[in-house]
Amino acid sequence: MGYRRHDGSALMVSYRTPLSRARGLGSAKHGVGHWISERVSSVALIPLTLWAVFGVLRLAAGDYDFAVAWISEPLNAVLVVLTLGISFWHMHSGFRVIIEDYIHITLNKSALLLINLFVCVLAGALAIFSILKVALGGA
């Protein structure tokens, strides 16, 4: 049974203390997006990682020319770029959550979040550029 006001409308019961309402403590309403992003990227990485393991096993049996020919195939190049891009995005999201949860000094947290972003973007861009350079014949 809910509580009713004198005019008959429902009365919401709040379990927050007056101090927590004054401080603005509670859900920031933005964690769900990160959670969904991590889950979607991890689900996408399952088949991509299986494909990558299969590809690495095939590449291990060949020489350099075989590897260049393999990565020059459009499907292989696209799947490698997708695997790398999603992997670096997933890594960025995971480290972001760790930093936000365990680093409590604002300046340190901000610096680590920026370093995380720059390292993931730079490493991902270099890896993808390298794959595209070989795939498009610039080796």
Q: What is the pLDDT of residues 24-81, one digit of tens each?
A: 655 555 678 888 999 999 999 999 999 999 999 999 999 999 999 999 999 999 999 9
DSSP-derived letter for residue 3 is E
Burial of 134 (0-12, 13-18, 19+ CB in 10 A): middle
Token pair of 103, please?
A: 């680093």
**Distance (Å, whole) CA 62 – CA 70:** 10
Is residue 117 a contact partner of residue 92, using CB atoms and an 8 Å limit? yes
This prediction has a pTM of: 0.76
Domain boundaries, the chain: 32-135
Is residue 83 a contact partner of residue 52, using CB atoms and an 8 Å limit? yes
In CATH, 32-135 is 3.30.720.110: no
Neighbours of 20 (CB within 10 A): 12
